[in-house]
Structure 1
């Protein structure tokens, strides 16, 4: 059956100018398309400004007071209800949701899923990046607070974290370039984005002064690229989805690597090399396990020389079989397909992207952090006696929390 619900295209990006330019380029191609934008300048005081418009008229320009000024409550209390209300008031119009710089697209998908709303369908997530500033943002050690972009008093996210997540979650990436961009710099940026988000469609505009708005709309609107079944970035490998590519040679100085291991990490040896691992890479993501805490799947997320480690929940091997129903179907299928008679579904899967990354050295460093044959032979009783700088950070029965340990710029 044909799904006749209005489609929502979500536009994210850290450069408001580039995101707005793409949004207005799309508006002029369809007089029925409705743009929804939120200004979070006053969100820390509990006030959000909402603008709703078509290509030729402003439909709404209101300010909303929220009980708790934050991104999550803005999504829950205003953004999702606005999309639902507009879909009912304008049933023949598709919607374009332009997110403020501090909002991550995955948060929108999660808020929509939790809302239970079914009046609209999320058609695609498009991230717009400005060519001139992307690499600086990905390597920056600034926090959102340093740029006055933080969305709440306790918003300690780093610029590199937010930009990386915006790129990774996208199913379509638009590079807003300019004729003045050096060709070699442009090619390096293209190589970087393809390694950060190899699953996304990539579009570049702005190489000439004129933008073909009709061609752009054909590539961005009504594509049905969003798959709500695909989990967030930190949970993808657990459910069998790819988290990156292995490309040691790379191109234009950009390369990438994957690291897999069944053996657990020695917690002390891993802890001692965290700074080395994060300083050598632009982006790291995935999950791991350590010998002293064999029940916990631990998420890894690094960018801008900062690192966040967090609890992703329990390994299925640590649960009685009757509790496996708590996991998703894809999680159980991935566990069954790769089950190890000794380790169960416990595994490490890490992806790194860098500039001239020494893949052999990185791989050797990670392998030195794994348990040795002698340590493996000691068994679980011996593992529990190992020194553990992470002790207490990942309680197996706690709710998954993707930011339990922070280091560097993300701390």
Structure 2
């Protein structure tokens, strides 16, 4: 059956000029393409500037929001606007040019789950690609540094504590295609950038932005691309065939274990997932919280820990047929007669840290044989530093794996 919904293309990236160039490339020569952009630079004042271009029309509107945050912008303006555009007969395609501070996966979650009236936006539009621009002169420094978005004036709200690295990596990990902008300052930067991208976004083609038009950009989207699908925190963590050997000092550690972490020892080991590490992503099983998986992400000295939902083996876990085929397959492969699908799995991309040292530190945080023998009733009484959570603003608008997040930045060598 032919899908009659107009296509929606998302553009993201930290470089405003590159994003604007890509948006213009997708718009060029097609009066039926609407380009939507929200500028969040004054969101702390409750002000967002919205620009909508369609054919010869170029409309700039200043919006005043009751709450200065990205979630409010999505709920109060962007989602209703996209639904309206999808119903206009002169609109054949929508390009959503995201602000530099926005992560596409969070936006797609809202497009998929937040009702506008009685329907969601994706009842009216279909995502055909998520494209991230990568400024090859600066991306490596952003992705491996510890600067905050606020240091560059890119924060999405006054209390946005995310680092540039967290956003830079989240953007490329969500993208179907990476459009490379500019040139690297030297061969080492070019090679190291490629080594990082090979490990965090191995399935995304990387054409040069200067060579693209709309047709060859969309043709570059892989056949099995995510096209905005929100990643299952209980799904596979390694996509494509990322290199497992070291290149330019960049290495990948795939850590797995079949016993729980002691909460206090895991907390002590957290620094190993920050120092000399480009990216950490994965789910952990903490003995004091045996019913739920915790999701761990780190980048640029920023750490996020949140609930990833219950294990299938938990008493209140989801029904087998209520989860994705991918999750069922993974659970079947590792099912334990006592602990079910509970397991540790982390993917760590390192730059200066030794993967062997990270593995050793995580192994030390696992329960000992004696602790394991004590059983779950004893584990539940362990002191748990992961039991306190700090909710994000407007947390009720999003319930993804990071709906409750604790964030920290490394300052002067201290967490």
Q: TM-score, normalised by structure 1?
A: 0.86
For the residue of structure 1 that corresponds to 2:306, the secondary structure is strand
Show the counterpart of 2:218.
220
Alignment RMSD = 2.9
Deviation at 1:320, TM superposition (A): 5.0
Task: Report deviation, 1:2.
Answer: 1.5
Number of aligned residue pairs: 397
Output aligned runs, 1:173-212, within 5 Å: 173-178=178-183, 181-205=185-209, 211-212=210-211
- Equivalent in the alignment of 2:286: 290
State which of 305, 308, 313 in structure 1 corresponds to 2:301: 305
Q: 1:404 to 1:32 in 2, by over 3 A?
A: closer
1:208 aligns with none
In the alignment, which residue of structure 2 is the partner of 1:156?
Answer: 161
Alignment of 1:298-377 (within 5 A): 298-320=294-316, 327-328=323-324, 330-377=326-373
Give the SS at the match of 1:310. strand
The farther-off stretch of 380-389 and 281-290 is 380-389
Q: How far, CA to CA, are the matches of 1:333 and 1:365 in structure 2?
A: 30
Deviation by residue 1:104-155 (Cα, 9 ceiling, x = unmatched): 1112201111231322111111111111111221233222222222222332
- Note if 1:21 corresponds to 2:16: no
Cα deviation code 1:146-182 (max 9, x no counterpart): 222222233222222111111111111112122x632
Deviates more, 1:266-275 or 1:118-127: 266-275
Q: What is the DSSP-based 3-state SS (H/G/I as helix, E as strand, rest coil) of the residue aligned with 2:407? A: strand
- Counterpart of 1:52? 52
Alignment of 1:2-81 (within 5 A): 2-28=2-28, 30-54=30-54, 57-81=56-80
Q: Offset at 1:401? A: 4.6
Unpaired stretches in structure 2, ≥5 consecutive residues: 391-395
Q: Give the TM-score normalised by the residue count of structure 2.
A: 0.85
Deviations 1:342-375 (A, max 9, x none): 2111111101112254222222222122122232
Q: Distance in 1 between matches of 2:387 and 2:38?
A: 42
- Aligned-partner SS, 1:203: coil
Corresponding residue of 2:99: 100
Residue 389 of structure 1 is aligned with which of 361, 368, 385? 385
1:244 Cα shift?
A: 8.1
SS of aligned partner of 1:110: helix
Distance 1:402 1:353 in 2: 24
CA gap of 1:321–1:263, structure 2 versus 1, over 3 A, is: closer
Quote the Cα distance in structure 1 between the aligned partners of 2:224 and 2:42: 33
Asked if 1 retains the 8 angstrom alpha-carbon contact of 2:129 and 2:228, the reply is no
SS in 2 for 1:317: coil
Q: Is the 8 A contact 1:245 1:351 kept in 2?
A: no
* Closer, same or farther: CA 392–150 of 1 in aligned 2, 3 Å: closer
- Indicate conservation of the 8 Å contact 2:255/2:346, yes or no: yes
Label 1:322 to 1:184 Cα distance change in 2 as closer, same or farther (>3 A). Answer: closer
